[in-house]
Structure 1
Amino acid sequence: MAEMQIGMVGLGKMGGNMAERLRRAGHDVVGYDRDPKTSDVASLHELAERLEAPRVVWVMVPSGDPTRATIEELGKVLSPGDILVDGGNSHYLDDQKHAERLAEQGIGFVDVGVSGGVWGLENGYALMVGGDPENVRKLMPIFEALKPEGEDGFVHAGKVGAGHFAKMVHNGIEYGIMQSLAEGWELLDATDIVDDVPGTFKSWRTGTVIRSWLLDLAVRALEEDSDLSDLKGYAQDSGEGRWTIQAAIEHAVPLPAITAALYARFASRQDDSPAMKMIAALRNQFGGHAVSSAEGQHAKGADSPGADVIPPVEAER
């Protein structure tokens, strides 16, 4: 595998570990980060000066405005024949805009969806790549160093935007799997029949159809905190789940599991659900069902003394 020189912009948890994995493979990495303690150069301009033409610069910063601003600034210091790689979690439509603008200057653009998290340094990173075949070919020594050993873990998914589109769908699937594991754990924990919930999860790691790395991580979490009492049930979303559902709507593809998983995360952030307040109010109105006040006291319901007489109903409708 030929050694290459590459600039890495963004040396956080992912970018820093990726730079280290590339160095271990013999590549020359010049890193830039806003934190001077981790940066090899003081600016993107100095980064470009340190790299030999034709340059390869990999951007690994938060998606959205930070990535857009970084790519715009790099466009001012790179030259025709250079290649810019966006390895963050950018939206695939942004990739197409960046590629078009950079192409006007003769600069190539490749988008890479990266999966592997903090474990990627040792295990390798799964790479989903979008871009011109010739640009991808030039970058193969870098991709080979970053990916896991073996034939899997890398795909040239298609044209510009395909890498991030594939990663977007990957993360949407991840939402659904995580939600299923979480619901299964909650049901096991709620029953008085199953005594060993962590052991049950652990038993599934071998020989079952749901064995997976996410299951392994669930087991690890339960080994550290058997009832997860140290955590608050609040789950953020980084955007890819929303984008996946938006793309599904545009293409008229039903995604009930992924959509429900995203909505479950929204629900996790509500200490007191406004929608559930309305449901409680409606149940009280049509059926006289008891409700709880904001202070935790039961309000008047069908069985409460002095409650308004409400015609009986057979069931909620």
Structure 2
Amino acid sequence: MQLGMIGLGRMGGNMAKRIAAAGHEVVGYDHSPESDRTVASLKELVAALKAPRLVWVMVPAGEATDSTINELAELLQPGDMIIDGGNSRYTDDARHAAELEPKGIHFMDCGVSGGVWGIDRGYALMVGGNKDDFETARPIFEALKPEGDSGLVLAGPVGGGHFAKMVHNGIEYGMMQAFGEGFATMVKSDLVDDPAAVMSSWRDGSVVQSWL
């Protein structure tokens, strides 16, 4: 497949490389001329893609995402699709979908987890949208997710992916807080000589193992 990737930072840049490594053609755009972008504007990105186009937006949530989607809405054609893979608020997704629908442009949201390790390990993907659109974009999702049967889910309709990612982030922050408190407890104890070594020992075989 062809994919337009907008935003080639720490996440988007690595995701573009993983997708390309799977055999897909990636046309990349970023504001920074020092990035690995292949085009210098959104207009050039759209022109470089064959219809129906698939464009993944991986920029900061809020104004940056809104302005990018608004500009794409004026450049894309009916039948094209936008996937918002950033950390947008789930309530923004319904608004984007409603604004794009009269133009015949499809929209999905995708919560992405994997950090800088995702380029090698793969990414967990929580998608919001309809099943037909999901199947259209599945080859890209399959290129991004880890090997095996897990890591990819159609969580629900538009907004469902970012809602699931919001819950995921809440769990993540809770885990990090627990790790921090556990480490601090060992530091204050006279019975543990090396708290860091203890936490490292939990990385394999432990019920609390995590690369967090």
TM over 0.5: yes
Q: Could you tell me how far 1:127 is from its partner in structure 2?
A: 0.3
1:156-200 CA distance string (max 9 Å, x none): 000000000001100000010000000010011012222121222
- 2:21 aligned with 1:24: yes
Gaps of 5+ in 2: none
Partner of 2:46: 48
Quick one: distance in 1 between partners of 2:59 and 2:50?
Answer: 23
Q: Could you tell me how far 1:150 is from its partner in structure 2?
A: 0.4
Aligned counterparts, 1:135-214, within 5 A: 135-214=133-212
Aligned residue for 1:73, secondary structure, equals helix
| Equivalent position to 1:74, from 72, 75, 82 | 72
- Give the AA of the match of 1:161: G
Partner of 1:96: 94
- Give the AA of the match of 1:172: G
Q: Relative contact order (C-alpha < 8 Å, sep 6+): which is higher?
A: 2
Q: Could you tell me how far 1:210 is from its partner in structure 2?
A: 1.5
Kindly tell me: are residues 206 and 55 of structure 1, through their superposed partners in 2, closer, same or farther at Cα, counting changes over 3 Å?
Answer: closer
Kindly tell me: are residues 82 and 197 of structure 1, through their superposed partners in 2, closer, same or farther at Cα, counting changes over 3 Å?
Answer: same
Gaps of 5+ in 1: 215-317
- 2:58 aligned with 1:60: yes
Aligned counterparts, 1:297-316, within 5 A: none
1:101-154 CA distance string (max 9 Å, x none): 101100000100000010011111110000011111100000000000000000
**Superposition TM-score, scaled by structure 2 size:** 0.97
| Equivalent position to 1:10, from 7, 17, 34 | 7
Aligned residue for 2:103, secondary structure, equals coil
**Superposition TM-score, scaled by structure 1 size:** 0.65
Quick one: distance in 2 between partners of 1:116 and 1:137?
Answer: 22
Quick one: distance in 2 between partners of 1:133 and 1:208?
Answer: 37
Aligned residue for 1:30, secondary structure, equals strand
Partner of 1:111: 109
Quick one: distance in 2 between partners of 1:154 and 1:54?
Answer: 23
- The structure 1 segments of at least 4 consecutive aligned residues displaced by more than 6 Å after TM superposition are none
Structure with greater strand share of residues: 2
Quick one: distance in 2 between partners of 1:191 and 1:24?
Answer: 48
Alpha-carbon RMSD across the aligned residues, in angstroms, is 1.0
Aligned residues: 211
